[in-house]
Structure 1
């Protein structure tokens, strides 16, 4: 298919896929003639891209036209839809149209339905931070790609330290590859602990301070995370994952479940031995109280994605989250 739609929040994985597609289609000697990228703020970007993709290629290789961060699958004016319907069926075989977006395509939209007939859709979603098994799989896959050998313990440690930040994962893997300098021995826990900064653990300390309503400690840990340049969205993702885990453990406890394996399965926890400690952590909290944390965390995530001042909104919401415990 000459049309590709890439979407999702894993920017790094999407960038790698775009690079692979670009290398496959374009001849390096003719790239300047056959490759065009249209930024989202360019006027009539879709119409110009459709005109460009119909232009015959120059020299060797194919033509690639890229609509960056397009909203075509979220909103599409009638004149643009008409141009799509006229152009897509007749795109030359050696011309390729690429659409990328962080947002999920709206399946109800006429433009999306029409694109489905001609385009190959591919999702690049981040692994939910609470799905530890998938995070470990991602770590092992990155290690295999980069050429680093890991033990099960070091893979779990990296998953805990890095979370679902794919870009950071590959950056840390390259660092570890350079450190071992071609050694065939698997990395040990001591080396990984020395070289990889575990900001996820600090965020878990933040979650614990919020859970106990310790505002001063929570703001102190948050300040350390901000000073370490930890992205706000990653902090929120870890907090959501931790409170979700606590909520599931408490729900299972109140339902009378005593089997650690059953609770671990429901809460998507890889190690059932953690259940005892999680039960102690939520002993003084109720299910409604744990549920009440989640809307505040969602509000924080939305505010950050909408461009709110990161430090200010994080501090404000952390104070509000701590007050949930204090109001019980």
Structure 2
């Protein structure tokens, strides 16, 4: 028996994990009989999934019942909760029941507590763009899975170039793996710079251009990012993360804090040594100025979510941000 709850906004990572789970459970010759995918928007579909999970396996292998976009960890009727309590402990050893959702489970609900008791619960959310060390570790992990060797500088450049886009990371590493089969040594940063689309790196460069008040460079980077089909909200997420980090660091410094470990913890920077470079970036910039960027970025995000033109909105707000630093 296996019960699983995978949640988070990284749809690609969840889809990969589901595929791995399916391959490990189901005999491909019996997949039509032992694999069910059930939309979870209708609460009654949960009852259907539970009944399917209790059905004996046909032929060889195991059974997998997958409830997509489940809502039972956001709202759950007493009727469904009763069924969950009755069936979860009784699911046959050969059956596996999987729930997926992009919404965070509400830990106050009895259904969520029941899920935590019986299920393997795993979060698949994008790594925040400003958590560089975690992004680098993610590159190392997937590179090892794919079987490609990278130099440390190549690993760092790839993490900066792709950011938290797990789909692009896999695609780029698979492309590099094909290229690396012709090489007998780890791929270096020169190859990464040549072969990889650096959308995330350009978003960070956009933050740097804004911080420098370089309006022309900032507008050029916006055009480049949008021409590469980089989503406007993803650009904003990177900007928010970068300016949030800068703001926290500068405010801590201005309050007289000198311990890099304390500053790094407040700014959620795993490696305090990065502060040497971040401090240099912030010379001559006040915490008051950095604080003013956050409402502008919040308004930018809100306008984009309301459907305003991405290019025009990004350009207008970028000019407004650049004016803060002139």
Same fold per TM (> 0.5)?
yes
Residue aligned with 2:97, SS: strand
Q: Paired residue for 1:222?
A: 222
Q: Paired residue for 1:36?
A: 36
Q: Paired residue for 1:138?
A: 138
Cα separation, 1, equivalents of 2:303 and 2:77: 28
Q: Paired residue for 1:155?
A: 155
Q: How does 1:107-146 map to 2 (within 5 A)?
A: 107-146=107-146
Q: 1:116 to 1:43 in 2, by over 3 A?
A: closer
Cα separation, 1, equivalents of 2:78 and 2:5: 20
Q: 1:260 to 1:55 in 2, by over 3 A?
A: closer
TM-score of the aligned structures, taking structure 1 as reference length: 0.86
TM-score of the aligned structures, taking structure 2 as reference length: 0.87
**Among 271, 274, 278, the residue aligned to 2:277:** 274
Q: 1:189 to 1:255 in 2, by over 3 A?
A: same
Alpha-carbon deviations, 1:232-278, whole Å to 9, x = none? Answer: 34312311221022213312331335677876676426545523531
Q: 1:218 to 1:183 in 2, by over 3 A?
A: closer
Q: 1:289 to 1:272 in 2, by over 3 A?
A: closer
Alpha-carbon deviations, 1:23-43, whole Å to 9, x = none? Answer: 121111111001000124457
Structure 1 position 77, deviation (Å): 2.2
Gaps of 5+ in 2: none
Please tell me whether the aligned partners of residues 9 and 125 of structure 1 are also in contact (alpha carbons under 8 angstroms). Answer: yes
Cα separation, 1, equivalents of 2:20 and 2:202: 36
Q: 1:296 to 1:60 in 2, by over 3 A?
A: farther
Structure 1 position 175, deviation (Å): 0.9
Q: 1:234 to 1:324 in 2, by over 3 A?
A: closer
Structure 1 position 324, deviation (Å): 5.4
Q: Paired residue for 1:7?
A: 7
Structure 1 position 61, deviation (Å): 1.3
Q: Paired residue for 2:21?
A: 21
Q: Which moved more, 1:287-296 or 1:84-93?
A: 287-296
Q: Paired residue for 2:313?
A: 316
Q: Which moved more, 1:96-105 or 1:317-326?
A: 317-326
Please tell me whether the aligned partners of residues 26 and 63 of structure 1 are also in contact (alpha carbons under 8 angstroms). Answer: yes
